[in-house]
Amino acid sequence: MSHINTAKKQNNIIIVGAGPVGLVVALRLTQNGIPVTILEESSAPIAEPRASTFHPPTLDMLDTLGLSQSLLSLGRIAEKWQYSIFETGENAVFDLGVLKDETKHPYRLQCEQVHLVRAAAKELNRLAPKALIYNAKVTKIGENSVGPWVDADINGTKERFNGRWLVGADGSNSIVRRELGLTFTGQTYPAASIAIGTTFPFEKYIPNICGVNYFWAEGWSFSMFQTKKLWRVGYSLPKGMSDSLATSSDEIQNKLRKIYPSKTPFRLETARVYRVHRRTVDTFRVKSILLTGDAAHLNSPSGGMGMNSGIHDAFNLTDKLISIFKNRADEGILDQYSRQRRFAATADIQRASDQNHKLHREQDYKARLKTLHTMQNIANDSQKLLDFVRESSLINSIKRANLIN
């Protein structure tokens, strides 16, 4: 096995996974003069659209990395979002403008996460051209007296990377988490969901549609998010439906015609089935190895909380690593990172996303109407609205987590 020189790499931070969370960790550390090596199994930035919602505090964070403006140019701002009964049009509209005194971005940005991945990778490559290594399949990790190490197969060549800290940002199937022997606890929801991307201009045909919509309709419910070029439509699949049937053109066309009876076929750009989880590990730190994002916790994407919470993990973690490197802070603050972000994941994000998941899938009409009237009461009261959008935008979650010692 070929080994990278330990003396040169022992103060390095190794990051496994170059998705949005791993790249945010890498870029923020690099901008603060801390050397990183980031290992990514794919051959290029992952091009799948996946998450598409950026909440206000997330955009404020990305401002500090110089990334928000490029995302704004590639996405679509949603100043308002709504819950609505599709057939009647009765709705509750939440205006994020009430956050104007608390954030530079009082809106949700609908922009596919691939744009963040590409922008962060480009900036990282500009600042540290050799930091990001593609085609790097991690095969094993461990720790010795000087710190963590990672074995990886890079284009058929075996390499060992040594560092001071190791960050696992390698998603739900994290090899870092598995090598640590940590397992998720929690649940997987019984019904799978599907996310569809179509260029059809629904905004021309559906009255009072917002950029972000959660619709209750007869016999089903669905969400609609408008990015710069696509409408992203999501809904739960009937129990027992196969992935192949769910993603078949006929099935999707029939479903979309329930939203608008187009006489011509809908142009489909993407269709992806996914399982919804509510899971977390017991700790985000084991000695010099740390977990972040989906490697540490999984939740329903309802409310746009998955990628956003991962980026919030990344900023909390890098705050502490920067303090250790620059200010010689006690390394025990990394245990605080684990406590703070695990609290956010379980007490706030998973609780709220679970509530959103169940709320949107309510089938009883009377229960839907009762919830809608409660929402209208909130939307029409300025203080209640402010309190509500602070919660739904994860502003309060960040503040509560940061109070944990």
Residue 251 forms part of a structural domain:
no
23 is written with which tokens? 């790249």
Residue 52 near residue 303 (C-beta atoms within 8 A): no
Q: Can you give the CATH number for the domain in which 309 is found? A: 3.50.50.60
Residue 331 forms part of a structural domain:
yes
pLDDT tens track, the chain, 405 positions: 444 444 334 669 999 999 999 999 999 999 999 999 999 999 988 766 678 999 999 999 999 999 999 999 999 999 999 999 999 999 999 999 999 999 999 999 999 999 999 999 999 999 999 999 999 999 999 999 889 999 999 999 999 999 999 999 999 999 999 999 999 988 887 778 999 999 999 999 999 999 999 999 999 999 999 999 999 999 999 988 999 999 999 999 999 999 999 999 999 999 999 887 888 999 999 999 999 999 999 887 766 788 999 999 999 999 999 999 999 999 999 999 999 999 999 887 666 666 766 777 788 889 999 999 999 999 999 999 999 999 999 999 999 999 999
237 is written with which tokens? 């699949």
pLDDT at site 277 = 80
Q: How far is CA 39 from CA 47, 159, 173, in A?
A: 17, 11, 15
Residue 103 forms part of a structural domain:
no
pLDDT at site 3 = 46
Residue 172 forms part of a structural domain:
yes
- Backbone dihedral angles phi then psi of residue 266, each to the nearest 5 degrees: -75, 135
pLDDT at site 8 = 39
- Give the pairing of strands 289-291 and 165-168: parallel
Q: What residue type is 78 in one-letter code?
A: A
14 is written with which tokens? 């190794």
Residue 14 near residue 37 (C-beta atoms within 8 A): yes
pLDDT at site 1 = 42
* DSSP structural state of residue 357: H
Nearest by Cα to 268 from 114, 78, 49, 76? 49
Residue 199 forms part of a structural domain:
no
Q: How far is CA 123 from CA 13, 217, 313, in A?
A: 18, 44, 20
Residue 312 forms part of a structural domain:
yes
pLDDT at site 49 = 64
Residue 17 near residue 40 (C-beta atoms within 8 A): yes
Whole-number Å distance between alpha carbons of 86 and 235:
14
Summarize pLDDT for 57-98 with one digit per residue, the tens.
Answer: 999 999 999 999 999 999 999 999 999 999 999 999 999 999
Residue 85 forms part of a structural domain:
no
Whole-number Å distance between alpha carbons of 161 and 170:
16
Find the angle CA(366)-CA(361)-CA(53) to the nearest 5 degrees: 125
Whole-number Å distance between alpha carbons of 36 and 92:
46
Residue 136, CB-side half-sphere exposure with 13 Å CA sphere: 22
Residue given tokens 């739960």 in the structure block: 236
Residue 62 near residue 71 (C-beta atoms within 8 A): yes
* DSSP structural state of residue 74: H
Domains contained in the chain, number:
1
Residue 115 near residue 74 (C-beta atoms within 8 A): yes
Residue 292 forms part of a structural domain:
yes
pLDDT at site 404 = 95
The strand pairing partners of 334, in sequence order, are: none
Q: Which domain holds residue 141?
A: 2-77+112-187+279-361
Summarize pLDDT for 100-129 with one digit per residue, the tens.
Answer: 999 999 999 999 999 999 999 999 999 999
Find the angle CA(215)-CA(259)-CA(221) to the nearest 5 degrees: 30
Is residue 224 classed as helix, strand or coil in its secondary structure? strand
